[in-house]
A and B are shown apart, each in its own frame.
Chain A
Amino acid sequence: MRARLGRIAPAPDAPLARARGISSTGVTTPFVYLDHAATTPLDPRVRDALLPWLGERFGNPSSRHKAGAAAAQAIDAARGEVARAIGARREEVVFTSGGTEANALAVLGGARARREHGRHALVGPTEHACVRECVQALAREGFEVETLRLDARGALDLEHAAARLRPDTILVAQMLVQNEVGTIYPVRELARRVRARSKHALLHVDAVQALGKLELDVVDLGCDTLALSAHKAHGPQGAGALFVREGVVLEPLVHGGGQERGLRSGTPNVAAIVGFGAAAKLAEELRPRHAHALQTLRTRLVEGLARIPGARAFEPGAPHVAPHIVALLIPGVPSEVRMHHLEELGVVVSAGSACQAQKQSISPSLLALGLTPDESRTLLRISMSRTTTPTDIDTLLTALAQVEAKLAPPKR
């Protein structure tokens, strides 16, 4: 695997317009990509696995002729790989269009299927918008929604959670790895409390940031459903999965052909799912080695940041922090300005999570983590994957020092 991805192409222009001349983003600069929590590059082995399904191999998996059977078989093989990567059984994996749909199916479908047992739902304090906003939709449908709490260190407050659990609690949604700051939440411990107090509750875990980074075992975690996304682990965009523990009932969001055990009707995206299978297999094979390498890179990065005046790594819930995400606070200009200056020097990081950057609003998760609005606006996220090298980290640190010198307030 190569860490450098070639060139910043004028790609955003391409569908919009025919761009000519020199792009202001510098057409020919090779760049260091440190935004792997947003998406990861497709692994060439994954591409090799999926490409035949965009070419000579094709078929509708529901068709009863042999082209259909071959597609069905390919999906089933991918299902096995995804199941293996999370310690599930093959039949417990439902393919979706991505992490957002997997989360929506669990949160909306899980709550709606449990209406007769209660209307109380608990949601983690720093969930991704796709979970948070599904829960808000439930509130509009008449569910009673409460938010879990963090303690002073930024870890999940389990005692508070235990106190909020009730016999009529039908849904608990808590992510495993926080996407903006990397905190790993104690889902296993939460699960025990849920089982002890709320026998009808569905425990849903958003594990989109965890695949290939942490050892994932759905039985050990004790969850009922768990969401994954292919493209966060060097797979293609457009495929995701929901683990649905055997016996767990969900109300489908999409009705029709009855694919995916009736939980997700619609002809599946065969190529992307085949790619997801290959990506999950690789992620799991490579994880032990790379998790260690990522930890070393993370230490190198955090130590390097300490040498930049004013900069500090923000690590709520430490030491339970994912090895691939570092949140960085530097007072001064908004993170977006700093991000573009790094980009100009060929280093790509994130100014908050991608969705938040578009909305120009402050992430509710960061506020829940105790940051002030001003601090939130200066937060940069650096995220790595198995393609990241020590040179990438050193390039970032050098570039950041350069940017800080340029952005220092001008002398009057």
Chain B
Amino acid sequence: MSTTPPLPPAPALLLRYGELTLKGLNQDQFISRLRRNILRQTSTIAPVRVERLYNRMLVFPEQRTEQIARKLQHVFGLKSISPVWIAPPTPEAILPLARAVFLDALESYRGTPDVGSRVVTCRVETTRADKRFPIPSNVFDRQVGEHALANVANIQVRLDDPELTLGIDIRAEGAYLFARRLPGAAGLPLGSSGRGLCLLSGGIDSPVAAWMMMKRGMWMSFVTFHSYPYIGEPSKQKVLALARNLSKWQPNSRTYVVPFSACQEAIRDGAPESYRTVLYRRMMQRIASKLARAHDIDALVTGESLGQVASQTIENMTCIAAASELPVLRPLVGYDKDDTILLARKIGTFDTSSRQEPDCCTVFMPEKPVIHGDLELCTKFEDALPVSALVDAACAGVELVDFEAEV
């Protein structure tokens, strides 16, 4: 067999939708939302052109195709992404390209650990969206196999769970050939499920909670409470670094930094010590809901997990959420810490969360926080405090920090 000329880089990326294919009549809205998100998420890397096919989308990057493909793995609503080579939808055009794509993929796969020159299992998988293509899929699979795989050493056809699959997606517009399927982020397109405001601390949980809601299509903003001068600028920078980490998954994001020491001082000096933590958090809910209402946000999101710390008992969660004017979503409520850590690693926030920075000054911590808080007592203690003045002052001092899509 003569040597095949080297394969040029894939000119396009074929995107397969995730859950949104189930969405019937709204599908069009979902897809145009997804398309907009794709354009915005990739805009910091290279210009792309997007084409809609039936049930698929094609992205043509001007350059940096591989980097765009990795970026698309962070766009919610996609099941998988394949770099594709395109041929006219005729057997004569497909066959030589199929061989080139297969050999390129095989060479690359042999470079991965523990593969080398051993026998590699493979198959061809044709789908015909355009049934006018003259050859049935399973017959064409065999023809391609005979041509593309001819005289290739140490390969073996296996239909069930092969190591390499040469995919051929034949449509009226063209035939799309691919050997890789990169997993997408799944979920729903961002912005298709309203807007949320996540209470972001420097910890592990809250960024994961924000990500889970993003995955369900909720556009996230962040709010963090900064008790300067009890803690310093580096603590704030840590939270902003988390917001920036999460901007990998959202084309842009806004963080509201709320000055919080006046609230904490007032509660420390004017309320019983054991209720401090619950009262701090009720104050946070009030401020967050006020900000949310002012910025057309529909819900608050927290990283609370039932029973994880003293403020997350069912009684205390009830006391805390009662101060919110908006629904409080807690996607981690049933999660174990280990599950959350696994996700934090996966989404890229764990290392930032692990950075050692004080997130609350020890002078504000009660020695023995209440475990089973009582809502009536909370409101009674708050009657002695200038609650609305504190909330207004905190909101007036808010600093906004915006991030563009993170690479």
The answer to whether A17 touches B233, judged by C-beta atoms less than 8 angstroms apart, is no
The answer to whether B399 touches A21, judged by C-beta atoms less than 8 angstroms apart, is yes
Is B232 in contact with chain A by the CB < 8 A criterion? yes
**Complex contacts, A361 vs chain B, CB 8 Å:** 356
Beyond A24-B228, A336-B232, whether A16 also contacts B240 by CB under 8 A is yes
Interface 1/0 per residue, B394-407 and A, CB below 8 Å: 00011111110000
Residue in B closest to A11 when the chains form the complex, CB atoms: B233
Is A341 in contact with chain B by the CB < 8 A criterion? yes
The docked-state distance in angstroms from the alpha carbon of A336 to that of B230 is: 8
**Complex contacts, B228 vs chain A, CB 8 Å:** 24-25, 340, 344
Residue from B269, B361, B402 in contact with A20 in the complex, judged by beta carbons closer than 8 Å: B402
Interface 1/0 per residue, B212-245 and A, CB below 8 Å: 0000000000000010111111101100110010
Is B287 in contact with chain A by the CB < 8 A criterion? no
Which has the most chain A C-beta neighbours within 10 Å: B229, B257, B356? B229
Is B268 in contact with chain A by the CB < 8 A criterion? yes
Which has the most chain A C-beta neighbours within 10 Å: B228, B358, B397? B228
Residue from B230, B269, B402 in contact with A410 in the complex, judged by beta carbons closer than 8 Å: B269
Is B259 in contact with chain A by the CB < 8 A criterion? yes
**Complex contacts, A337 vs chain B, CB 8 Å:** 229-231, 361-363
Residue in A closest to B402 when the chains form the complex, CB atoms: A18
Give A376 Cβ to nearest chain B Cβ, in Å.
15
- A-contacting residues, B226-283, CB 8 Å: 226, 228-234, 236-237, 240-241, 244, 255, 257, 259, 268-269
Is B325 in contact with chain A by the CB < 8 A criterion? no
The answer to whether B399 touches A22, judged by C-beta atoms less than 8 angstroms apart, is yes
The bracket for how many chain A residues form the interface is 20 to 34
**Complex contacts, A341 vs chain B, CB 8 Å:** 229-230
**Complex contacts, A340 vs chain B, CB 8 Å:** 228-232
**Complex contacts, A410 vs chain B, CB 8 Å:** 268-269
Residue in B closest to A339 when the chains form the complex, CB atoms: B232
**Complex contacts, B398 vs chain A, CB 8 Å:** 21
The answer to whether B232 touches A17, judged by C-beta atoms less than 8 angstroms apart, is no
Is B357 in contact with chain A by the CB < 8 A criterion? yes
**Complex contacts, A343 vs chain B, CB 8 Å:** 229, 232
Beyond A22-B399, A24-B397, A333-B363, whether A17 also contacts B240 by CB under 8 A is yes
| Interface size counted on chain B using CB atoms at 8 A | 31
**Complex contacts, B356 vs chain A, CB 8 Å:** 358-361
Residue in A closest to B247 when the chains form the complex, CB atoms: A17
The docked-state distance in angstroms from the alpha carbon of A236 to that of B226 is: 33
- A-contacting residues, B336-383, CB 8 Å: 356-358, 361-363
**Complex contacts, B236 vs chain A, CB 8 Å:** 24
Is A12 in contact with chain B by the CB < 8 A criterion? yes
Which has the most chain B C-beta neighbours within 10 Å: A13, A23, A24, A339? A24
- B-contacting residues, A1-43, CB 8 Å: 12-13, 16-25
The answer to whether A17 touches B401, judged by C-beta atoms less than 8 angstroms apart, is yes
The answer to whether B357 touches A360, judged by C-beta atoms less than 8 angstroms apart, is yes
The docked-state distance in angstroms from the alpha carbon of A21 to that of B258 is: 12
The answer to whether A24 touches B259, judged by C-beta atoms less than 8 angstroms apart, is yes
The answer to whether B399 touches A20, judged by C-beta atoms less than 8 angstroms apart, is yes
**Complex contacts, A344 vs chain B, CB 8 Å:** 228-229
Give A396 Cβ to nearest chain B Cβ, in Å.
15
Is A334 in contact with chain B by the CB < 8 A criterion? yes
The answer to whether A22 touches B400, judged by C-beta atoms less than 8 angstroms apart, is no
Residue in B closest to A344 when the chains form the complex, CB atoms: B229
**Complex contacts, A24 vs chain B, CB 8 Å:** 226, 228, 236, 257, 259, 397, 399
Give B387 Cβ to nearest chain A Cβ, in Å.
20
The answer to whether B233 touches A12, judged by C-beta atoms less than 8 angstroms apart, is yes
The answer to whether A22 touches B397, judged by C-beta atoms less than 8 angstroms apart, is yes
**Complex contacts, B257 vs chain A, CB 8 Å:** 24
Give B248 Cβ to nearest chain A Cβ, in Å.
14
Give B353 Cβ to nearest chain A Cβ, in Å.
14
- B-contacting residues, A297-354, CB 8 Å: 333-334, 336-337, 339-341, 343-344
The docked-state distance in angstroms from the alpha carbon of A340 to that of B268 is: 19
The docked-state distance in angstroms from the alpha carbon of A13 to that of B358 is: 18
**Complex contacts, A16 vs chain B, CB 8 Å:** 237, 240-241, 244, 401
Residue in A closest to B231 when the chains form the complex, CB atoms: A340
Give B360 Cβ to nearest chain A Cβ, in Å.
11
Which has the most chain B C-beta neighbours within 10 Å: A21, A339, A341? A21
**Complex contacts, B361 vs chain A, CB 8 Å:** 333, 337
**Complex contacts, A17 vs chain B, CB 8 Å:** 240, 244, 255, 401-403
New A-B pairs, 5, CB < 8 Å, besides A21-B400, A24-B236: A13-B401, A16-B237, A336-B231, A341-B230, A343-B229
Interchain residue pairs with CB less than 8 A apart (8): A12-B233, A13-B240, A17-B401, A17-B402, A18-B402, A19-B400, A21-B399, A337-B361
Top 4 nearest A-B pairs (CB, nearest first) are A340-B229, A360-B356, A344-B229, A21-B399
